[in-house]
Amino acid sequence: MEKKQFQTESQKLLDMMINSIYTHKEIFLRELISNASDAIDKLYYRSLTDDTVTLKRSDYKICIIPDKESRTIKITDNGCGMTAEELENNLGTIAKSGSYDFKHSHEDGEEIDIIGQFGVGFYSAFMVSDRITVITRAFGKDEAWMWESEGVDGYTVTPCEKTDAGTEITLHLREDTENETYSEYLDTYRLRNLIRKYSDYIRYPICMDITTEKRNEDSDEYETETTTETINSMVPLWKKSTKDISEDDYAAFYRDKYYDFEAPAKTIHFKSEGTATFDALMFIPSKAPFNYYTKDFEKGLQLYSSGVLIMEKCGDLLPDYFSFVRGLVDSADLSLNISRELLQHDHQLKVISKAIEKKIKNELAKMLESDREKYESFWNAFGVQLKFGLYADYGMHREVLQDLVLFTSSNEDKLVTLKEYVSRMREEQKSIYYACGETVDKIKMLPQAETVISKGYEVLYLTDDIDEFALRMLANYEEKTFVNVCAEDLDISTEEEKATVKEENERSEALLSAMKYILGDAVSAVRFTNTLKNHPVCLTSEGGLSVGMEQVLNRMPTGEEKAKAQIVMEINTSHPIAEKLKMLHSDDAEKLASYTKILYAQARLIGGLSIENPAELSSLICDLMI
């Protein structure tokens, strides 16, 4: 019998399949089932206008028949079938349009992506088979044909018998090896799982004979019983109209699919028919998964193309700041693009991911508006991620995120939005004030926070490492700049107060530079201030880097040079210590040195910082005590 050669391109692809080290060989089943479903579609659509097709909608089906004895799996369909010519054209060459560029597939790594995301159709069956037999009869034709191939050395096409139109594909499974157990595909349980995983939403029934063991009540013996079951559920939940889906349906779907026993905080189900046509079903979990804030966590939505799972986790569909969202996207547009340039497909994904981002943002904004309690609980789980989003990419995502972030505020210690803060700002208030620290309680004890609050201003309490970085990146909100209460340029004094303290500083210049000299590099200056209420000292920072930011940066495990904030020690002019220092300056240089060091240590402690030399501090204090 004449053996025909595959077309060059097909041969390359075939070669790739046969020698594939791809770990998810299981996708071959998805590919063959999708082909069968397409073939049925073709006949079904023809039946709408062609009376010679007598099959009813309910007559169509796909059957999967594993046979352990012969080590084969049969996949049958009663779709349109193929003529001899079609067999040649479809299975002897690549049906996909010529523009599909296989050059990529031969570069390392790329191969895996192409197989995984789109499969490569019929040929993927060679990943698990060493011989494939296709028997097919085209609808309306009398003759049937058999196509057979053992891989690269070609294929044969011969006439054969087949009663009805349709196709029957027999895979002769490869022998098991040390690394691969192909025989697992003969197991009905395994096949059932694969069908449910990849092809659950194929519109026609996928049937398989399932044999179960049952005990006979009378004879007390085990008997086997075989029933034909429809394995797939056929209509995907997300394809149904929202009015036909109950909360329970969503909850059950979410639980089964994402193994989360807690109901989602929010279900987002929508259809888009704009620049991209797709259905999306997404969930915002109530709690962060245990690995959410680790590098093990992988973001992404499932990507379906007309009900067929293409990719388990498509990361490109979700921005990092919404990485907590679970769910799926189903788009018919994608399947068209698969056979065209990959680039085009990328563009489509971008359009979809933009639409998804917008939707998630709007849903969160709605939740914030209508159910504050729920939003705050969402915020506790995922707020940090949103704040990272504000900081990321040079603040590019501010429009999406700035109205979704919350901070605890001095206003009743409640979480507030930036909008709420600004709406309450006093007329003369120029800036949005914030203070940083480990906890809200510690921040409240900051002398500067106390001062700003006592003047009647609201202060945001920042307790997460990312907070100040995020606000600095944002720089302003509704044209109000963010100002750290511990910053040198905190401008809350009257002109008169400013003039008084300026004079005081000028008068005491000698004392202040002596103190700066004592502290050396630890501070960039020592000054008097009249903004503190009761505290003797505090630390403020000059320039771009705050003390808090310095701390965060230096905690990071980079080999780089340590960050250094420009720290100014400020002494309260109205505190008795001010007079004492002036006295010591004129008659006891040694005591001035120890007082200065002790004050600096105090300022660090009050500011929530650790002290550099506790032993020295202890002996300085002791010396004063004895």
- The site for ligand ADP (CB under 6 A) is made up of 31, 35-36, 39, 77, 79-82, 90-91, 95-96, 121-122, 167
Half-sphere exposure of 516 (CA within 13 A, CB side): 16
* Per-position DSSP letters for 29-73, written without gaps between them: HHHHHHHHHHHHHHHHHHHTT-TT----GGG--EEEEEETTTTEE
C-beta neighbour count of 185 within 10 angstroms: 23
Residue 133 beta carbon to ligand ADP: minimum distance, rounded to whole angstroms: 13
Residue 204 beta carbon to ligand ADP: minimum distance, rounded to whole angstroms: 12
Residue number with CB closer to ligand ADP (36 or 349)? 36
Residue 1 beta carbon to ligand ADP: minimum distance, rounded to whole angstroms: 22
Residue number with CB closer to ligand ADP (91 or 308)? 91
Give the H or E element holding residue 401.
Answer: helix 398-401
Residue number with CB closer to ligand ADP (156 or 183)? 156
Residue nearest to ligand ADP (CB): 121
Residue number with CB closer to ligand ADP (306 or 572)? 306
- What percentage of the chain's residues is helix, strand, coil (to nearest 5)? 45, 20, 35
Rounded CA separation 22/11 (Å): 18
Residue number with CB closer to ligand ADP (201 or 600)? 201
Residue 166 beta carbon to ligand ADP: minimum distance, rounded to whole angstroms: 7
Looking at residue 350, the DSSP 8-state letter turns out to be H
Residue number with CB closer to ligand ADP (17 or 599)? 17
* Per-position DSSP letters for 233-252, written without gaps between them: --S-GGGS-GGG--HHHHHH
Per-residue CA distances from 286 to 276, 321, 326, 379, 552 (Å): 29, 16, 11, 10, 29
Rounded CA separation 77/166 (Å): 6
Half-sphere exposure of 367 (CA within 13 A, CB side): 20
- Pair of tokens at residue 19: 């020698």
* Per-position DSSP letters for 3-36, written without gaps between them: PBPPPHHHHHHHHHHHT---S-TTHHHHHHHHHH
Residue number with CB closer to ligand ADP (90 or 156)? 90
Rounded CA separation 12/385 (Å): 45
Residue number with CB closer to ligand ADP (100 or 457)? 100
- Cα 27 to its chain centre, rounded Å, is 24
Residue number with CB closer to ligand ADP (96 or 582)? 96
Helix/strand/coil (H, E, C) string of 465-512? Answer: HHHHHHHHHHCEECCEEEEECCECCCCCCCHHHHHHHHHHHHHCHHHH
Residue 348 beta carbon to ligand ADP: minimum distance, rounded to whole angstroms: 17
Cβ pair 547, 607 in contact under 8 A: yes
Radius of gyration of the chain, Cα coordinates, nearest whole angstrom: 36
Residue 5 beta carbon to ligand ADP: minimum distance, rounded to whole angstroms: 17
Rounded CA separation 159/150 (Å): 18
Residue 96 beta carbon to ligand ADP: minimum distance, rounded to whole angstroms: 6
Rounded CA separation 36/329 (Å): 23
Residue number with CB closer to ligand ADP (162 or 359)? 162
Residue number with CB closer to ligand ADP (142 or 225)? 142
309 phi and psi, to 5 degrees? -70, 125
Cβ pair 58, 68 in contact under 8 A: no
Contacts of 425 (CB under 8 A, 6+ apart): 432, 458, 480
Residue 29 beta carbon to ligand ADP: minimum distance, rounded to whole angstroms: 12
Residue 31 beta carbon to ligand ADP: minimum distance, rounded to whole angstroms: 6
Residue number with CB closer to ligand ADP (138 or 282)? 138
CA-angle at 551, arms to 550 and 556, nearest 5°: 100
Residue number with CB closer to ligand ADP (84 or 553)? 84
Residue 318 beta carbon to ligand ADP: minimum distance, rounded to whole angstroms: 27
Q: Which residues of 414-439 are buried (b: 16+ CB within 10 A; e: fewer)?
A: ebbbbeebbeebeeebebbbbbbbee
Residue 291 beta carbon to ligand ADP: minimum distance, rounded to whole angstroms: 36
Residue 11 beta carbon to ligand ADP: minimum distance, rounded to whole angstroms: 14
459 phi and psi, to 5 degrees? -125, 135
Residue 383 beta carbon to ligand ADP: minimum distance, rounded to whole angstroms: 44
